[in-house]
Structures are given as structure tokens and as C-alpha cells.
Chains A and B, each alone.
Chain A
Amino acid sequence: MRKRKSNEFLTEVELEFMSELWKLGEGSVRDILASLPTDRKLAYTSCATIMRILDEKGFVDSRKEGKTFIYTPRLTKDTYQSRSLRNLSEKLFDGTPASLVARLVDEYELSDDDLEEMRALLDRRRTDDAT
């Protein structure tokens, strides 16, 4: 059995591959290669290596179908988003999510609809907490 190397986070290129795999649900190296933008000139072997690393890190599961490995994500995109945000909040915003949100609101030009959606989200959370 291949040795698992624990790493909670993805590098840029790994994230790109995981994003494609999340979209596909499951797929082989060729499926992922095909779903990448056409200007991405990646060698098959490089893609296979990246998928192997994702397997070693425990982000995907692999099974063999004939001669091909089929990869399935082991965690959902939402779970990874939460993990990354928590990490960002802890490391860069001193564990205060409020300042993270404040920076987000300051930096991005949010439309009225976006703000309304956020307000609704907060109201829902407050109602959930109260009950």
C-alpha cells in the first residue's frame, strides 16, 4: 500500500485538478486532462503524477478499472472551502472571522443583491442559533 503523506492543503495546481474532479464527480487522468482549458499544455505523465500525489495526500480515492485508475474525491468542495477559510482566518486574521468578512466587504465591489443575500444568510444563522 502506498504511503499516505498528510497535508491538509492543496497547492495551486492540485487545486486546479481537484476543481475539475469535483465538477466531474469521478474520472481518469484522461478525463481530467480533457476538462482542462485547451491552452494548458500538460503532459499525461505530469497529470498522472499530480493525481498520484492527491491520492497520497488523501484527497482522492483511486480504483483500477482495467488498466486505468479512476479517481474519486474523498472530500467535498464545501469541506475544503471551510478548511481553507478556517486556516485563512486563523493565520491571517488572528482567528477573528469578522475581520475576514470586513476585508471581503471592503475589497470586493458587492452588489445590492450580494449584500441582501449575505444579510439573509446572517438572519437565518441567527434564527437557527436562537432555536
Chain B
Amino acid sequence: MTLLNQTFDIYVDLNITLALTALIWLAAKLVLARLGRRLAFNYQLGVLNGLFAVMVLSPVAVAVYQNMQMAQVVPAAGTVNLADYAVSQYLRGGIAIPAEDFQALLGLRSRLTDSVLSFAPGLGMGIVLFLLAGFAYFGSKLIVSIFRLARMLSACHTWRRAGRLQLLLSDSALVPFSARGFRTHFVVIPTELLAKPDDLKLVLKHEFQHLRQGDVTWEIGLEALRPFFFWNPFYYVWKSEVERLRELACDQKVTDATNVDLRSYCMCLLRAAQAGIRRRHRIAGKDRVGNVAAVALIEVQDRVLRRSPAQKLRRRVEALLEKDRLRPHWSFVFLAVLPMIAIVFLSALSIQKPADWTQDRLMLSTIINLERLETINTFGQRPLR
């Protein structure tokens, strides 16, 4: 197998694993909602980010596991393979389709991979062009956004510096936001906010919490993966969940502090939204920073196929007013998440191409050959009356 084949296989596996991980997350959310248990948002965010890390690292984990299997460190019986399972189910009569069709179904991914990697005219070439065009579009959009952000940061006035943190003041930022470089973290505040000391305190607490949660780093990671996952709807589901939860978790953490009044905080969010919308109209199109590599206090720009900023703000205020969310010890959360991690890993393992011919596969191949022979043998027979 060539390196290109292997890379493309990992790419396809990652996309499938992302879809499965998203489904696992949504199912867990549904179960919790049905049970009437509401987990604190920072726990939910932790689980979500953890699952994403597991998903991204799943090809490495699978490769390590397969190597361990080859070195006979783990028993061969521990193999889980979806294709092998489907074949055994077929042989037991669990799947009722002709053997040749079933074989074709099993080989679908290999055929598609071959046609993509050999740039076969038609579907293969179409997929290659689509993936390349999407990668180029979203990749260039990412680069432009990073340059725009860098330009905006350099146009800001430095307010304070503390270690690796810089507080910047901007004339053109619609709302406060956090960003980061390789080592330095930035919190950007619209200059006008200096004249509102009470709001300024709350906004800074909010942005510092984002930095503590590592939200900017996660945002950069997710955005860097967009050119690869742009066609996968589950990527957008995941991104929207992360965006929702990181704000809710941040709001919750800030308002948990004893010296923060919930009402003042909600009013601060409303005022920030109002000011952001006013500024959006005033500086329409000029020096606007996209949503890439930065985490804003509040959204004030409409985005395609997404909830309106007003709806999002309403949900944030409603969530803040909810009380008594579960805050178990992290070890309990880890224990609860362990089965989810196991499912992600097993899913990643099960979608791998089977390494060898199994007894069941040989049997399936024999059935197909026998069916073909039977067809050939019945050519000379008279049709039954």
C-alpha cells in the first residue's frame, strides 16, 4: 500500500470517526436530557473537547494497537472489524441479499478509494476536484483571517502587559475577544469599554476565563481542521456545540464567583451586544475580523445556517438563570466518559480494512463462485414449465 493510499484511508477513517463521535455525543446529551440531569457546562465542554482529542488521535491509537497485535503483545482474538462482522452475519443468514451484491457492497470503499487515487474520469476525478477546491477555499480563507487578525492586533493600542498576556484596546473590534499567538495571549477590548468600568471588569473576567479554559487554542485547532472536514456535516455540528458550550461554561464560571451579580452580568452581555451591533453598522465591512482564531464575548454577526445572535444571547441568559446543575467530581466524569472513549476507539478500529482473508471471507468467496458456476451450468437447461 502506498503512502498516498494510507493517508487517504486515514482521512476517510477520521471523517467516519468524527461522524460517530458526534453521534455518540448527541446520544449522551439526549440520554442526560431524558434523565432530567443537567451537567454543569464546564464539564460538558471538558467531555466534548476530550472526545475530540480522542477522535483526532484515534488513527495513532489504532496504528499502535495494530502494531501491538502484529508483535503479538495483544491477542489476535481482540480484533474488531465491521466488515468481518458483516460477513459473519451474512453467512448466518442475517443479511438477505445476493452474495455478489453483498461482495460489491463490501468492496465499495476500496473501489471508491481506487477511483479517487487513480483520478479515474467521472466520480473519482469529481471527488478529487471537489476536495481540492474545498481545501483551497477554506485553507485560503483561514490564512486571510489569520492575516486580518494579525493586522488588527498590530493596529491595537497596548493597554497592559502581564507575562505572556497582553491587554489591547481597539477602535475597530465590534466586541471584546481573546486571541493568541505562539506564546502570547491577547485580550482585545473596544476602547469605548474603558468608559464603563463595571462592564469592563465583567468582560475581563469573561475573557480571562476563556484563556483559562484554553478556548482560543481549541478554536484554532478546530479552524485549522476545517479545510479537511469542510464537507462533513458532523464537523459543523461539533463546531456549533463547542461554540455554544464554551460561552455557557465561561458565563457559568464567571457568575459562580461570589462577587459577581448575575443580573449585572446579564445586563453587561446585553449592553455588549447592543454596542457591538451599533459598531457593526458604523464600521460595516472595514477591518472586520472573522470568526477564526479568536473567541468573542458575544456574537453580533449573522451567519449562514446558524441561529441568530439574538437567539444565542437569549439562550445564554436563560442558561445563566438555570440553577442546580450537576457538578460531580472529575473522576466520576472520567469514569462516565470512559465507555464513550472506548466506543470511539472501537469504532475507529472496526472501520479499518481487514488485514487478512478470514475463514468467513473465504466462505463468502466460495458462495459467489458456486453461484456463478450455477448460472453458467443452467445456460443449457430448458426452462421449467
Question: A43 contacts the other chain (Cβ, under 8 Å)?
Answer: yes
Q: A12, B192: Cβ atoms under 8 Å?
A: yes
Q: A46, B192: Cβ atoms under 8 Å?
A: no
Q: A7, B171: Cβ atoms under 8 Å?
A: yes
Q: A43, B197: Cβ atoms under 8 Å?
A: yes
Nearest chain B residue, comparing its CB with the CB of A47: B194
Q: B169, A49: Cβ atoms under 8 Å?
A: yes
Number of A-B contacts (CB under 8 A): 38
Q: Is the interface of B mostly helix, strand, loop or mixed?
A: helix
Question: B69 contacts the other chain (Cβ, under 8 Å)?
Answer: no
Q: A46, B157: Cβ atoms under 8 Å?
A: no
Q: B197, A11: Cβ atoms under 8 Å?
A: no
Assuming the A-B contacts A46-B194, A49-B194, A50-B194, are A11 and B171 also in contact, with contact meaning beta carbons closer than 8 angstroms in the complex? yes
Q: A41, B159: Cβ atoms under 8 Å?
A: no
Q: Which residues of B contact A43 (CB under 8 A)?
A: 197
Question: A26 contacts the other chain (Cβ, under 8 Å)?
Answer: no
Q: A5, B197: Cβ atoms under 8 Å?
A: no
Q: A11, B155: Cβ atoms under 8 Å?
A: no
A12 CB, min distance to chain B CBs, angstroms: 6
Q: Which residues of B contact A56 (CB under 8 A)?
A: 157
Q: Give complex CA distance A12, B87 in Å.
A: 71
Question: B195 contacts the other chain (Cβ, under 8 Å)?
Answer: yes
Question: A130 contacts the other chain (Cβ, under 8 Å)?
Answer: no
Partner of A13, one of B155, B157, B159, B194: B194
Q: Which residues of B contact A20 (CB under 8 A)?
A: none
Which A residues from 6 to 37 make CB contacts under 8 A with B? 7, 9, 11-14, 16
Q: Give complex CA distance A14, B171 in Å.
A: 10
Q: Which residues of B contact A41 (CB under 8 A)?
A: 197
User: Interface digits, B170-203 against A, CB 8 Å rule (1 contact, 0 not)?
Assistant: 0100000000000000000011101101001000
Q: Which residues of A contact B197 (CB under 8 A)?
A: 41-43, 46
Q: A13, B171: Cβ atoms under 8 Å?
A: no
Q: Which residues of A contact B194 (CB under 8 A)?
A: 13, 42, 46, 49-50
B305 CB, min distance to chain A CBs, angstroms: 31
B217 CB, min distance to chain A CBs, angstroms: 28
A101 CB, min distance to chain B CBs, angstroms: 22
Question: A53 contacts the other chain (Cβ, under 8 Å)?
Answer: yes
Nearest chain A residue, comparing its CB with the CB of B157: A53
Assuming the A-B contacts A7-B171, A11-B171, are A49 and B195 also in contact, with contact meaning beta carbons closer than 8 angstroms in the complex? no
Q: Give complex CA distance A52, B159 in Å.
A: 9
User: Interface digits, B143-158 against A, CB 8 Å rule (1 contact, 0 not)?
Assistant: 0000000000001010
Question: A64 contacts the other chain (Cβ, under 8 Å)?
Answer: no
Which B residues from 28 to 44 make CB contacts under 8 A with A? none
Q: Give complex CA distance A64, B69 in Å.
A: 75
**How many of chain B's residues have a CB under 8 angstroms from any CB in A?**
12
Q: B169, A53: Cβ atoms under 8 Å?
A: yes
A10 CB, min distance to chain B CBs, angstroms: 9
Q: Which residues of B contact A13 (CB under 8 A)?
A: 191-192, 194-195
Question: A126 contacts the other chain (Cβ, under 8 Å)?
Answer: no
Question: A125 contacts the other chain (Cβ, under 8 Å)?
Answer: no
Q: Give complex CA distance A118, B192 in Å.
A: 35
B327 CB, min distance to chain A CBs, angstroms: 35
Assuming the A-B contacts A5-B155, A49-B169, A53-B157, are A42 and B195 also in contact, with contact meaning beta carbons closer than 8 angstroms in the complex? yes
Q: Give complex CA distance A53, B194 in Å.
A: 12
Q: Give complex CA distance A56, B171 in Å.
A: 13
Q: B159, A49: Cβ atoms under 8 Å?
A: yes
Nearest chain A residue, comparing its CB with the CB of B278: A12
Nearest chain B residue, comparing its CB with the CB of A10: B171
Question: A63 contacts the other chain (Cβ, under 8 Å)?
Answer: no
Partner of A5, one of B157, B192, B200: B157
Question: A40 contacts the other chain (Cβ, under 8 Å)?
Answer: yes
Partner of B191, one of A14, A40, A42: A14
Most buried by A among B155, B159, B194, B195: B195
A31 CB, min distance to chain B CBs, angstroms: 17
A39 CB, min distance to chain B CBs, angstroms: 12
Q: Give complex CA distance A50, B194 in Å.
A: 8
Q: A5-B157, A7-B171, A11-B192 are in contact. List 19 more A-B contacts (CB 8 A).
A: A7-B155, A9-B171, A12-B192, A13-B191, A13-B194, A16-B195, A40-B195, A41-B197, A42-B195, A43-B197, A46-B200, A49-B159, A49-B194, A50-B191, A50-B194, A50-B195, A52-B157, A53-B191, A56-B157
What would be 5 A-B contacts, judged by CB atoms less than 8 Å apart?
A5-B155, A5-B157, A46-B197, A50-B194, A53-B157
